[in-house]
Structure 1
Amino acid sequence: MQQVTVVGAGVVGLCTAFFLQHSGFSVLLVDEKAPAEGCSKGNAGHFATEQVFPLANKALLWQLPAMLLKPDGPLKIRAAHLLKSLPWFCRFIGQMGQHQQLQLQQALSHLNGGSLASWQKLASLCQSQDLIRFDGALLVTEQSNLTQLKQQYQNYRAAGIDVSLLDQASTLALEPELSRNIQGALDFTEVAHTVDPWLLCQRIFAAFQAAGGQWLQSKVLSVFPRGLIQLLTESRLIATERLVLCAGAHSANFAAQLGWKVPLAPERGYHLMAESVAINRPVSSLERKFIMTPMREGLRLAGTVEFAGLEAKPDFNRAKALFAHASHLIEKPLTAQRNAMWHGNRPSLPDSLPVLGPCPAHQGVYYNFGHQHLGLTQAAYSAELISQSMNGNLPKGKLEPYRIDRFGPYRRQKEQA
């Protein structure tokens, strides 16, 4: 059996390790932390297959000043991180051309289009069907004038998304616990959510180990190809025939060691858990830019975007703001759970696409990182694509939009001692 080492035990790395082990490879999964202790633990739980539009769009430019000026707004750039963020935002703005938007939308649609089928397959193999609900999702508005919502409806329809436009009565008939402030909604029927993202990851990890997968909890210090690919960890040196880099927001450092400069930004998000409310599906707000997802342990309020760097201390006022927003969308008073705030770093690239596929410069090296807000959504399908690519079963060019060299050429690194 060929040896594969997967670096990163978030949901993307777990799915990748599982599908590779399932397809006949001998897989070692390595991470500094226990499985799913990063972004995968606290995500919104929404399999957001409807989100096929790149984050960079011209309409966003007009909204940015208001977003940045509001203390409880959906976007914050810390002053200490502003200069470091500028190159990323320049690249981000550079993705707003009409031709680029269409290409990026097509690439996102491809990944999202295969995602639910892959998750259904994975859930069946890991005995986790009880953790995934196919109840759809709502995007609600509090504006009495539904012009903006109707425009969104037209955009989604044009992109081939299965969506219905609901008035207030129809929205409240679906979810009676929602506030009468809500004037209408978009109803996405072909989406899903998990009631426990962390437990879902633990089930995948258990199935991976049961199938013979190996686990090493140790910090990876460096990666370098020298005959066999070598990884230096805090506990030992690993030699492997193949490597898949799935290290989320930490992936840029390893990519640089392999000769690639990748504009990966840690995009921090927060959540706060409230006591359970009887809603059946994820509900996101058009104006407030956050999402409420019903879970086994309560109602998860998730969202916000903060550019602060990987090491900055969390600002839990960002999480508390989510509670205030949610109180406007639920009819009855909400109760926040104690000690139930969380933060994590999404790995985001300026074009909203992940880096996915084989390394053009080093045989046996593969990449699977940078899924921005869609890490959970795209994890299973991305993992299947890596498995198919490694097994030689993927049509040529299928991963072309996600190549690592779209950001610049390979730069040969000095030989390590």
Structure 2
Amino acid sequence: MPDNSTSNSPHQNADIAVVGAGIIGVACALQLARQGLRVVVIDQQEPGQGASFGNAGHLATEQVFPIADLSILKRLPAMLMDPMGPLRLDWKYMPRAMPWFTRLLLNLRPAPFQRTVAGIRALNESSLGAWHRLLEGIDCPGLMKEDGSLLVYERPESRQALQALEARMRQQQVPVEFWQAKDVLETAPQLSENIQGGLFFPSTGHFIDPYRVVCELVKAAKNCGVQFIKQQVTGGQMSEAGVSLVTPQGRLTARRVVIACGAHSAKLTSALTGKKVPLDTERGYHLMLPTERDRLPFAVTSLERKFIMTPMTDGLRLAGTVEFAGLQAPANMERAWQLHRLSKGLFRRDLSAEGATPWMGFRPSLPDSLPVIDRVWDGKVLLAFGHQHLGLTQAAVTAEMIAQLASAGSTHALPALAPYRLDRF
């Protein structure tokens, strides 16, 4: 594994400081450095140790719809009462979450819903091409497997719902194929004979090791002169020189800044722009099964059980579930272990949990399910956060957009950015 060590010495003369060393921040740093800019990345953790470490690894270009629909109102009692449910709202967090959920519901009205779908789709359609360019540029194309993914169903009565989803996908021009049970079992023979069929998405893929992707990008960025500083940014302000970032060790000054610190981006965005962003977090869990490397040929999701299984170099990763409980509540790792229980019956032989490791991370989510990708203050502040569960999928294309913003005279030169601008809030 490449050396990810970071510097603790302040860097006062950067052209751009990138706040956030996750997959999006590191990808942005590399693209900016390739433009000849002096770049410093600052984060309180080592690169890739946040949500980028534990994501599902699925390049989910098929997921063009928001995580919720109006049925969330019917599910609200279960969300509050079932601590192991696939979509959970901690009742203690409910007072703080309700303004966000109210805005979410307003965005599910027909017109804003269609804007959201169009915005997600535009990013997703460009995502795999951007990843090809980025990985080929660092000579690591083998980290991505573009071999599709599968959504399976087990109950005959689920077929109608699956076909309705297929119709919606086709309407959005998402490549999709309906597979009968025999097609599923020919391709993934270790799955249970109870599988009735599924939807295959040929234009998706997965990473065999998401954390290694970050490490390889860090290595390439360092080779381009990017410096990494392990410090916490606690605040910031605009200055004549550009941007001044506050850390416990002092101030770090750069001409411009990229805010790409995921679920922690709201405070710094407010400090630098005066805009209060309705950012919350979908807490996601995974369970890594190290002895199950060869069970599946590609990522498989269960329609009824509502979780995903992705084959990786280090094992089979079970991931999913959405929990709204904020940034401060401790992780409930039983939710990670619940993923193993959910897998029982999906295979001819149940998955082994020997040596399994649980994990929880924060997905940054905005109530319209779209990220913020923008430049404000005459380009002194660039924004790249709020990608919810599509951060991995959209990281490379976001980095290309940020690189364009850094070199563009104004955002008017990039009309495609309209759905992602900060001023929509």
TM-score band by shorter chain is: over 0.9
Give the residue type in structure 2 aligned to 1:185: G
- 1:101 maps to 113
Among 358, 366, 389, which residue is 2:382 paired with? 366
- 2:223 maps to 210
**Cα distance in structure 2, aligned partners of 1:229 and 1:67:** 42
Deviations 1:145-188 (A, max 9, x none): 31011001101011001100111111111111111221111000
Secondary structure (helix, strand or coil) at the match of 2:190 reads: coil
- 1:240 maps to 254
Structure 2 gap segments, 5+ residues each: 1-12
Secondary structure (helix, strand or coil) at the match of 1:336 reads: coil
Deviations 1:124-145 (A, max 9, x none): 1122212110110001111213
- Cα shift at 1:62: 3.6
- 2:5 maps to none
**Cα distance in structure 2, aligned partners of 1:50 and 1:241:** 38
Are 1:288 and 2:300 matched, yes or no?
Answer: no
- 1:118 maps to 130
- 1:414 maps to none
Are 1:44 and 2:56 matched, yes or no?
Answer: yes
- 2:80–2:91 Cα contact (<8 Å) kept: no
- 2:163 maps to 150
- Cα shift at 1:336: 1.1
Deviations 1:318-359 (A, max 9, x none): 011100111221221211142510000100001000011102
Secondary structure (helix, strand or coil) at the match of 2:92 reads: helix
Secondary structure (helix, strand or coil) at the match of 1:301 reads: strand
Runs of 4+ in 1 over 3 A off after TM superposition: 59-71, 393-396
**Cα distance in structure 1, aligned partners of 2:261 and 2:152:** 34
CA distance 1:14–1:244, change in 2 (3 Å): same
Give the residue type in structure 1 aligned to 2:277: V
- 1:271 maps to 286
Deviations 1:69-92 (A, max 9, x none): 444320111122111111010001
- Cα shift at 1:312: 1.0
- 1:334 maps to 351
**Cα distance in structure 1, aligned partners of 2:215 and 2:367:** 31
**Cα distance in structure 1, aligned partners of 2:213 and 2:344:** 28
Deviations 1:187-245 (A, max 9, x none): 00001100100011000000000111111111112111011211122223211111100
Secondary structure (helix, strand or coil) at the match of 1:100 reads: helix
- 2:423 maps to 405
Secondary structure (helix, strand or coil) at the match of 1:398 reads: helix
Are 1:197 and 2:210 matched, yes or no?
Answer: yes
- Cα shift at 1:63: 4.2
**Cα distance in structure 2, aligned partners of 1:64 and 1:49:** 28
Deviations 1:42-83 (A, max 9, x none): 000001011111223224434444455444320111122111
- 1:411 maps to none
TM-score, with structure 1 as normaliser: 0.94
- 2:343–2:350 Cα contact (<8 Å) kept: no
- The alignment-based identity, stated in percent, is 40
- 2:37 maps to 25
Are 1:82 and 2:94 matched, yes or no?
Answer: yes
**Cα distance in structure 2, aligned partners of 1:353 and 1:362:** 23
**Cα distance in structure 2, aligned partners of 1:181 and 1:68:** 31
Secondary structure (helix, strand or coil) at the match of 1:366 reads: strand
- 2:198 maps to 185
- Cα shift at 1:398: 1.7
Are 1:351 and 2:372 matched, yes or no?
Answer: no
- 1:68–1:75 Cα contact (<8 Å) kept: no
Secondary structure (helix, strand or coil) at the match of 1:206 reads: helix
Secondary structure (helix, strand or coil) at the match of 2:17 reads: strand
User: Which stretch shows the higher mean deviation, 33-42 or 227-236?
Assistant: 227-236
* Mapping of residues 149-168 of structure 1, within 5 Å: 149-168=162-181
Give the residue type in structure 1 aligned to 2:309: M
Secondary structure (helix, strand or coil) at the match of 1:12 reads: helix
Deviations 1:1-24 (A, max 9, x none): 971110000001011101111122
- 1:316 maps to 333
**Cα distance in structure 1, aligned partners of 2:79 and 2:189:** 30
- 1:388 maps to 404
Give the residue type in structure 2 aligned to 1:385: M
- 1:300 maps to 317
- Cα shift at 1:286: 1.2
Equivalent pairs counted in the alignment come to 406
TM-score, with structure 2 as normaliser: 0.92
